[in-house]
Chain A
């Protein structure tokens, strides 16, 4: 049963374009996250957002920015995509220890 929803499933774009991915959770959790999963399947946290407090992984380039309208939504915007941004972007939410992941958005940058 999917409770973390992501759109789109995949997106193909060209270098320099702006993209935006959506994430919504229906679990009532207080904290949401964005992860990047590279071609080697390594998952790295990019952002966590809790009660209007944003925690940024210092390795994340500035062209990435999360956007939240309420605690159920956390979108991801990439201002000017680069080839190395090609990856799967996973959204998650949590209350306590367990994290619930969405199915991911696969980004391909040509």
Chain B
């Protein structure tokens, strides 16, 4: 059974800081990794995904995947108070009957103005 672990559990940073979130997974054959953002009382919302080793950048977000070490990282540049949320790492395996997501427990990010 795939396991997804995230660190740190929580993080408080000043506005404008660079944020780095870590995620490790157990199955190197996992097909893609997603980062989701969840605000209180809302459902998770997909932010960015990566399939191949290396970096992928979208706006202030950069995700880095290293399949050999089974780690994926999310960097948020110039963090804003509106970025305050729980960030969930999810490993996805595609199947004929749908996609199976295994989530980590999340990192609670607080960005202080």
Instruction: Determine whether the beta carbon of B97 is less than 8 Å from that of A43.
Output: no
Q: How far is the CB of B37 from chain A (nearest CB, A)?
A: 11
Identify whether the interface residues of B are mostly helix, strand, loop, or mixed: strand
Q: A43-B44, A43-B88 are in contact. Are A98 and B97 (CB under 8 A)?
A: no
Instruction: Determine whether the beta carbon of B99 is less than 8 Å from that of A94.
Output: yes
Interface membership of B92, Cβ < 8 A: yes
Interface membership of B101, Cβ < 8 A: yes
Cβ contact of B106, chosen from A41, A99, A100, cutoff 8 A: A41
Instruction: Determine whether the beta carbon of A48 is less than 8 Å from that of B98.
Output: yes
Kindly list chain B residues whose C-beta atoms are within 8 Å of the C-beta of A90: 43-44
A99 to B86, CA, bound (A): 17
| Interface core residue of B97, B99, B103 (most chain A CB under 10 Å) | B99
Interface membership of A53, Cβ < 8 A: yes
Interface membership of B49, Cβ < 8 A: yes
A104 to B99, CA, bound (A): 20
Q: How far is the CB of A43 from chain B (nearest CB, A)?
A: 4
Kindly list chain B residues whose C-beta atoms are within 8 Å of the C-beta of A48: 97-100
Q: How far is the CB of B110 from chain A (nearest CB, A)?
A: 15
Please, could you name 21 A-B residue pairs with CB atoms under 8 Å apart, sorted by A? A4-B43, A31-B98, A41-B105, A42-B106, A43-B44, A43-B101, A43-B103, A45-B101, A48-B100, A49-B98, A50-B98, A97-B32, A97-B49, A97-B92, A98-B34, A99-B44, A99-B99, A101-B44, A101-B45, A103-B42, A104-B43
15 further A-B pairs in the complex, CB-CB below 8 A; given A99-B101, A100-B46: A31-B97, A31-B99, A40-B105, A41-B86, A42-B105, A43-B101, A48-B98, A50-B97, A55-B100, A90-B44, A98-B34, A99-B44, A101-B44, A102-B43, A103-B41
